[in-house]
Amino acid sequence: MVFSRRPVHMTESFPMARRKKIYEGKAKILYEGPEPGTMVQYFKDDATANNAEKRDVIDGKGVLNNRLSEFFMVGLNAIGVPTHFLKRLNMREQLVRQCDIIPLEVIVRNFAAGTMAKRLGIEEGTPLPRPIVEYCYKDDKLGDPLVTEEHIAAFGWASQQDMDDILSLALRVNDFMSGLMYGVGIKLVDFKIEVGRVYDGDFQRLIVADEISPDSCRLWDMETGRKLDKDVFRRDLGDLADAYTEVARRLGVMPANATPMEKPKLIN
């Protein structure tokens, strides 16, 4: 075979060519994992907004999101919130558990922003009386429309037990993420998670899947209000990689002396 004649160092440089692609999304690619029940999640540098109407390639974004998502998911696993994360493999890839994704974007909001602020005519940044959980049906062609639990039950996207578990997962992730961000002077305005179903023998349970990163959160500096999330890209507010690097730096995920202009570096 032609492959086997390649020098070893070359085949090692292009491991992805041998992997089967399962799915390619806007910011990530999923490949078949090395063992049954696993997948490799590859983080791209592509950024999209407004349902992919606006797109660009942001150097280093994939590396930052891989590392940040690892950081959040490892923390969640450690406090007993189950996630799909198993292990980071390299700068852009992580090994995750394969699961059946529930077709919902689960949004938790602590302050009004984005579509909710617009929909209800509330000024962005207004604190909400309590965290509000919303569900959007995952369908890019429809623009991920907001749905109610009535739709979810009627169309069978999730059972009542699933919805109870999803709500509990979402609120636990919110408490964890809000506390973590508060510790580094960042306000967690809102975020989105996806939830997947895994089977352990006869039992099934729900776990946090996909990614948790500044792509899927709104993060505002507590003192200045500076946006440190994907709104920097959506609203043309500056350099997205600088903003994500700042989040990583504050959380200690990047070397403390990394300046925003430096390329992302891993500390281990």
- If one asks whether residue 73 binds ligand TYD (CB under 6 A), the answer comes out as no
**Region of 109-117, 152-160, 170-178, 239-247 interacting with ligand TYD (CB under 6 A):** 109-117
From candidates 28, 67, 218, 250, binder to ligand TYD by CB under 6 A: 218
Distant-in-sequence, close-in-space partners of 185: CB < 8 Å, separation ≥ 6: 221, 222, 223, 250
Neighbours of 114 (CB within 10 A): 15
Q: Which of 15, 114, 76, 51 is nearest to 209 (CA)?
A: 76
Residues 172-211 that bind ligand TYD (CB under 6 A): 190-192
188 contacts 177 by C-beta, under 8 angstroms: yes
Cα distances (Å, whole numbers) of residue 157 to 14, 102, 131, 170: 38, 7, 23, 17
CB of 136 to ligand TYD, least distance (A): 5
Q: Which is nearer to ligand TYD, 3 or 23 (CB)?
A: 23
Contacts of 242 (CB under 8 A, 6+ apart): 260, 261
Q: Which is nearer to ligand TYD, 138 or 265 (CB)?
A: 138
Query: Is residue 107 at the binding interface for ligand TYD, with CB under 6 A as the rule?
Result: yes
Taking a C-beta distance cutoff of 8 angstroms, is the pair 111, 190 a contact?
Answer: yes
Closest to 258 measured CA to CA, from 64, 89, 40, 46: 64
Residues 13-72 interacting with ligand TYD (rule: CB under 6 A) = none
How near is the Cβ of 102 to ligand TYD at its closest, in Å?
A: 14
- The least distance separating ligand TYD from the CB of residue 257, rounded to whole angstroms, comes to 29
With beta carbons less than 8 A apart as the criterion, state whether 98 and 22 touch. Answer: no
Q: Is 131 in the site for ligand TYD (CB under 6 A)?
A: no
Q: How far is the CB of 37 from ligand TYD (least distance, A)?
A: 26
Please pick, from the candidates 38, 77, 98, 115, the single residue that binds ligand TYD as defined by CB under 6 A: 115
Closest approach of Cβ 22 to ligand TYD, in Å?
Answer: 20
Whole-angstrom distance, CA of residue 41 vs CA of residue 194:
14
Closest to ligand TYD by CB, 63 or 116: 116
Q: How far is the CB of 4 from ligand TYD (least distance, A)?
A: 43
- Binding positions for ligand TYD, rule: CB under 6 A: 105, 107, 113-116, 136, 144, 190-192, 216-218
